[in-house]
Structure 1
Amino acid sequence: MVFAPRNTTLLACIIFVALASSPFIFQILRGDTNGNFSTLYDSFEAGVLTATTGARAKFSWDSVPPSDHLVWHDCYTEHQCARLNVPLNYSDPYGEKAIIALTRIPSPLPVGSPWYRGPILFNPGGPGGSGVDLVVQAGKLFSTIVGPQFDVLGFDPRGVGHSVPRVSFFETAAERALWGSVGPHVLDASAGEVARQWARSKVINGLAGERLLNLLPHINTDQTARDMLRITEAHGNEKLQYWGFSYGTVLGATFAAMFPDKIERMIIDGVVDVENYYATLWTNNLLDTDKTMQTFFDGCAEAGPDDCPFYAPTAEDISRNLTNLYNAIRKKPVPVRTKVSYGLVDYNRLRTTIFMSLYTPYATFPALARGLADLAAGDGRLLFEMEEFPPFQCSCDEGPPRIDIVDEAYAAILCNDGVDISESLGDFEKYFKHLTEKSSWGELWSAIRGNCISWPRLPKSHFQGPFTGNTSFPILLIGNTADPVTPLWAAKKVSKGYPGSVVLTQNSPGHSSLTAPSLCTQKYIRRYFTDGTLPDRGTVCEVIKSPFSQITSKTPTDQTPFENNWTSDERDILTAITALSMISRSSAPYPL
């Protein structure tokens, strides 16, 4: 599961799309002359983002009429969009409709070609992440990885983003901004933050019941799984092809349990313990978080002061220096004014920024090291900017309104999916104590369950397991050795419910395979989609570099310099996964 990127962060994907056809991309693979990826990244950012934002502004989903069939319209840049009618309630298939927004990078092959393989559906996580935004901004990279035989298709799950009806507990964007985000934050028991979270949840979930009571029973993973089958059938296919990340693995595992005979290919990547999720527990996500943090300490010590500004002679020294910085910031927050906004680097901001960096080490560890070094010297600007968004402004401009992913969507899905929890403050305090005793990161993670306190008591008739099935094609599960929120252990657990499934291990820190450049992993992914080849059980894929280093040459297959040993397809795949791994996930409301 993912604190999925907001639109402003996801836009960065398009930078690399523009570069993908250029030899200059190989400089990005090496780093610039100083081994600095971010320099090359920044040099293209302004122009490419401006072009992308313009394309988005010119397109309105109102120009795409909903249909009972898939009718594709040109949209954005080199994309096609459609809006598909589905039953709001599958128990009443001829009743009220929901409208699912879809976008795709179409295969260059004609539908009638014997090599055309149909769509692969993508879900970016969340719950509540926008598959439309994912494919609009990174679809070409995914197309490069899976191959030209496939359409790369993103959809906004019901209640989310461009799909309607849309979950929103607030009547205006200004009302939401005044209330404040429920994104990742530290619950400090000594400062009354646990009780404050409890009280806030009672207010916001009271609004949910007051304003959306008729809609909420239909916003859950069960109904979204049925929507995926409907999308697949609307393409003229009987079986699903799917690649889901984080919460998207909950969606995938649920689909596989509900429709085991409807799977053509399925990859679930960054796997959640599905049973724990549906029990609204959130108690075993942090098993490897400290291991991920340790890769920062180890990598920084190994990289040296030139490549890691927060350097100290040993990993233990770096860890100790960070603890000292935590203590200093608790006592004396650092005020910050940037070109965009202003605020404080306090303990909450520091802790949250570090936690978010663990999702995407290759994109964020070098910047984190510089930010920590600057902060230790009294300058908090860089660290503040790692999680900075422009302040809210009311807009009276005419034209299509901007559709952002809102906090409420993730709460609606995960609280509806899971069992009802106690409304008692005492019980929440006991839960907080239990989680923080298991992991220091529980001070951030426990807010997720807290968001479901006093959730409207709705019928729990949707599918909630068991998560087993003899699938029509074996599932490929992928887990990283140091994933901060979906430990490898969970992938192995979920795999046991689906005979024939295989767990592919990627030896890297970060959340899902996308956050580290492994040619090995992505080649297995392509083989799986194109010809159904699964890796041998126990296969472990290495990466081409560490977060602080340039490409190394540790293995002859995947890490020998590409000019001499890699095929054209391998170069393209490596280009795409390197680009994806360099995209950071800034703070957002989604827990996974």
Structure 2
Amino acid sequence: MDTRRPLRILATVLGTAGLLISGCSGGSSKGTSPSESATAPAPPVPAGLTSYYAQHLEWRDCGVEGFQCTTMIAPLDYEKPGSGDIELAVSRKEATGPGRRVGSLLVNPGGPGGSAIEYLQSYAAVGYPAQVRARYDMVAIDPRGVARSEPVVCLSGPQMDTYTQVDQTPDDAREVTTLNNSFNEFADGCERHSGEILPHVSTVETARDMDMLRALLGDEKLHYVGASYGTFLGATYAGLFPGRVGRLVLDGAMDPSLDAAQLNREQTAGFEIAFQAFAADCVKKKDCPLGTTSTADAAQRMKRFFTDLDARPIATGEARRLTESLGTTGVIAAMYDESAWPQLREALSAAQNGDGSGLLSLSDSYYERRPNGTYANLMFANAAVNCLDLPPAFTGPEAVIRAVPDFEKTSPVFGRAFAWAALNCADWPVPPTGAPHRIEAKGAAPIVVVGTTRDPATPYKWAQSLAGQLDSGTLLTYRGDGHTAYGRGSDCIDTAINTYLLEGTPPTEGKKCS
């Protein structure tokens, strides 16, 4: 389990949203001019990259109805263009019309490590509102090291099964050593299988790839919807190329100014808030597996359940048993979307009766484990990007031990596990190239930052912070549960974002939706 993985894993169906207004409140206006009004000069093609920016994309049928696919070539190392290249996969679905085509709309579901192409083909290009799809070519590029774009590979399926079952709440020195060794074996596997690409999968490099794709698509400005980690990617792009910012939606925002320890601790608090919301809902139901008395009692029962799993894993109907680590991951997975709460109640009830298959299924969805025992490269790319983008949260087990009390105070339910999970970058084979920093993107067109008040993976305060950092940032608030807000049932949110994408007019600053 890597708690620095704010990815939309369960909220994967966008409803078509009309331009209706409901459940909203507004505030003062900030940056209301349309995207075409940005005055910052567009930078020239970066030195040494002319041939890359001049390449021709050869589109072909993907084998998926309505979609075209291609590949583009980017330098593996932007500091040494021409010394080696990387091939990146791209897909699109052309604008359906009617209406004037705005341009291309790049989408990214987060991660890091989520496949943007899978996201596009499975639902963005059919689930985004018809009005948006009519006027934009829907486009996705798998980031370098992800899915179809020369994926990072670290462990085999059986090795990942072992890795995901290692106890992440060690009780003694032996268990601490076992956990630390598992992180080292993971990192060693990444270096062994993907050593050449490992130093070149940073968010900055992916943002530069996006600018190259923008140019190859023939767009003067980049129009983009990024969810979760995709907000960090989009904000990074804006910081690098403010003059080429078109209409950017950053939904479920990350805060680039935080270091890895702060990110992990604040995300721990976010999951605690989400659990409290789940528990408050659960105890109102007569069949709640965590009791019907209070949220405090529900939290205690949840902790006891994890402790019992640590001592006695339970059967799942297959060779893998439900361990504490898998059970915790299963619960965390359901925190991303309140629509998964009924599934979690059912899975917890079954587990209390000796059947861990429901929680195992939730855990497998988090890790993107396939029925045949293989894994998508999500978790490999996730670690590779995270460990490159920031110095490690902790440099060794002793630092985690000192931090555990603070994490447990932040979240009595998840704190201990989250603290130890943050050890994964301590011995990464490639030194970090990034550091915490503010992103202002001065001169960029208006950028819409969306925050959900009880978002577990990207706490609301992160959206507030990013919107405040961005020179042209406008904060749009969803008062509710779950991770991200666009396309999750709020007509108010969807109307505001659709209007921005179609007309270039951002919502008024301080707008709040239910």
TM-score (normalizing by structure 2): 0.81
- Equivalent residue for 2:49? none
Q: CA deviation at 1:294?
A: 1.8
Q: SS state of the match for residue 244, structure 1?
A: strand
Q: From 94, 109, 121, give the equivalent of 2:106.
A: 121
- Equivalent residue for 2:461? 489
Please say if residues 272 and 410 of structure 2, whose CA atoms lie closer than 8 Å, have aligned partners that are also in contact. Answer: no
- 1:530 matched to 2:499? The reply is no
> Following superposition of structure 1 onto structure 2, how do residues 1-150 of structure 1 map, counting pairs within 5 Å?
2=5, 4=7, 68-75=55-62, 76-109=64-97, 115-139=100-124, 140-144=126-130, 146-150=132-136
RMSD: 3.2
Give a deviation string over 1:282-335, Cα, whole Å, max 9, x none.
332223322211221222344x338x6766255455445445544544454332
Q: Quick one: structure 1 residues 278 and 431, their matched pair in 2 at CA, closer, same or farther if it must change by over 3 Å?
A: closer
- 1:196 matched to 2:174? The reply is no
Q: CA deviation at 1:257?
A: 1.3
Give a deviation string over 1:82-134, Cα, whole Å, max 9, x none.
1111222222333322111111222113xxx8710111111111111110110
Distance in 2, Cα, partners of 1:80 & 1:385 = 33
Distance in 2, Cα, partners of 1:99 & 1:154 = 14
- 1:229 matched to 2:211? The reply is yes
Q: CA deviation at 1:537?
A: 2.2
Q: SS state of the match for residue 521, structure 1?
A: helix
Q: CA deviation at 1:249?
A: 1.3
- Equivalent residue for 1:153? 139
User: What count of residue pairs does the alignment treat as equivalent?
Assistant: 467
Q: SS state of the match for residue 469, structure 2?
A: coil
Q: From 208, 213, 221, give the equivalent of 1:239.
A: 221
- 1:509 matched to 2:476? The reply is no
> Following superposition of structure 1 onto structure 2, how do residues 463-502 of structure 1 map, counting pairs within 5 Å?
465-502=437-474
Distance in 2, Cα, partners of 1:384 & 1:459 = 33
Q: SS state of the match for residue 343, structure 1?
A: coil
The one-letter code of the counterpart of 1:503 is L
Give 4+ residue runs of structure 1 displaced > 6 Å after superposition.
none
Q: CA deviation at 1:181?
A: 6.2
Q: CA deviation at 1:448?
A: 4.5
- Equivalent residue for 1:343? 320
Give a deviation string over 1:5-41, Cα, whole Å, max 9, x none.
78xx89x75xx89xx8xxxxxxxxxxxxxxxxxxxxx
Between 250-259 and 286-295, report the one with greater CA deviation. 286-295
Q: SS state of the match for residue 274, structure 1?
A: coil
Distance in 2, Cα, partners of 1:151 & 1:187 = 44
Please say if residues 143 and 151 of structure 1, whose CA atoms lie closer than 8 Å, have aligned partners that are also in contact. Answer: no
Between 317-326 and 369-378, report the one with greater CA deviation. 317-326
Q: Quick one: structure 1 residues 317 and 208, their matched pair in 2 at CA, closer, same or farther if it must change by over 3 Å?
A: closer
Please say if residues 197 and 450 of structure 1, whose CA atoms lie closer than 8 Å, have aligned partners that are also in contact. Answer: no
- Equivalent residue for 1:546? none
The one-letter code of the counterpart of 1:510 is G
Distance in 1, Cα, partners of 2:447 & 2:337 = 25
- Equivalent residue for 1:358? 335
The sequence identity of aligned pairs, in percent, is: 25
Distance in 2, Cα, partners of 1:465 & 1:265 = 23
Between 220-229 and 367-376, report the one with greater CA deviation. 367-376
Please say if residues 170 and 179 of structure 2, whose CA atoms lie closer than 8 Å, have aligned partners that are also in contact. Answer: no
- Equivalent residue for 2:19? none
- 1:444 matched to 2:417? The reply is yes
Q: CA deviation at 1:195?
A: 3.0
Q: SS state of the match for residue 120, structure 1?
A: strand
- Equivalent residue for 1:219? 201
Please say if residues 70 and 90 of structure 2, whose CA atoms lie closer than 8 Å, have aligned partners that are also in contact. Answer: yes
Between 509-518 and 94-103, report the one with greater CA deviation. 509-518
Q: Quick one: structure 1 residues 247 and 324, their matched pair in 2 at CA, closer, same or farther if it must change by over 3 Å?
A: same
Q: SS state of the match for residue 276, structure 2?
A: helix
Between 202-211 and 254-263, report the one with greater CA deviation. 202-211
- Equivalent residue for 1:168? 153
Which segments of 5 or more consecutive residues in structure 1 lack a partner in the other structure? 21-66, 395-402, 543-592
Distance in 2, Cα, partners of 1:300 & 1:234 = 51
Distance in 1, Cα, partners of 2:504 & 2:256 = 25
> Following superposition of structure 1 onto structure 2, how do residues 272-351 of structure 1 map, counting pairs within 5 Å?
272-277=254-259, 282-302=264-284, 304-305=285-286, 312=292, 314-316=294-296, 318-337=298-317, 341-351=318-328
Please say if residues 242 and 444 of structure 2, whose CA atoms lie closer than 8 Å, have aligned partners that are also in contact. Answer: yes
- Equivalent residue for 1:454? 427
Q: SS state of the match for residue 345, structure 1?
A: coil
Q: Quick one: structure 1 residues 471 and 333, their matched pair in 2 at CA, closer, same or farther if it must change by over 3 Å?
A: same
Q: Quick one: structure 1 residues 239 and 378, their matched pair in 2 at CA, closer, same or farther if it must change by over 3 Å?
A: same
Q: Quick one: structure 1 residues 267 and 499, their matched pair in 2 at CA, closer, same or farther if it must change by over 3 Å?
A: same
Q: CA deviation at 1:423?
A: 4.5
- Equivalent residue for 1:580? none
Q: Quick one: structure 1 residues 182 and 235, their matched pair in 2 at CA, closer, same or farther if it must change by over 3 Å?
A: farther
Q: Which has the higher contact order (CA 8 A, sep 6+)?
A: 2
Q: SS state of the match for residue 206, structure 1?
A: helix
Please say if residues 389 and 432 of structure 2, whose CA atoms lie closer than 8 Å, have aligned partners that are also in contact. Answer: no
Give a deviation string over 1:481-510, Cα, whole Å, max 9, x none.
111121111111111211231111111111
The one-letter code of the counterpart of 1:188 is T
Distance in 1, Cα, partners of 2:119 & 2:243 = 28
Q: CA deviation at 1:405?
A: 2.5
Q: SS state of the match for residue 276, structure 1?
A: coil
TM-score (normalizing by structure 1): 0.71
Q: Quick one: structure 1 residues 311 and 103, their matched pair in 2 at CA, closer, same or farther if it must change by over 3 Å?
A: farther
Distance in 2, Cα, partners of 1:133 & 1:488 = 27
- 1:407 matched to 2:379? The reply is yes
Please say if residues 455 and 483 of structure 2, whose CA atoms lie closer than 8 Å, have aligned partners that are also in contact. Answer: yes
- Equivalent residue for 1:250? 232
Q: From 216, 238, 241, give the equivalent of 1:259.
A: 241
Distance in 2, Cα, partners of 1:296 & 1:515 = 21
Distance in 2, Cα, partners of 1:381 & 1:130 = 26
Please say if residues 475 and 502 of structure 1, whose CA atoms lie closer than 8 Å, have aligned partners that are also in contact. Answer: yes
Q: CA deviation at 1:78?
A: 1.7
Q: Quick one: structure 1 residues 184 and 124, their matched pair in 2 at CA, closer, same or farther if it must change by over 3 Å?
A: farther
Q: Quick one: structure 1 residues 426 and 226, their matched pair in 2 at CA, closer, same or farther if it must change by over 3 Å?
A: same
Please say if residues 286 and 486 of structure 1, whose CA atoms lie closer than 8 Å, have aligned partners that are also in contact. Answer: no
Between 431-440 and 114-123, report the one with greater CA deviation. 431-440
Which segments of 5 or more consecutive residues in structure 2 lack a partner in the other structure? 17-53
The one-letter code of the counterpart of 1:248 is G
Please say if residues 502 and 537 of structure 1, whose CA atoms lie closer than 8 Å, have aligned partners that are also in contact. Answer: yes
Please say if residues 128 and 405 of structure 1, whose CA atoms lie closer than 8 Å, have aligned partners that are also in contact. Answer: yes
The one-letter code of the counterpart of 1:157 is P
Q: CA deviation at 1:194?
A: 3.6
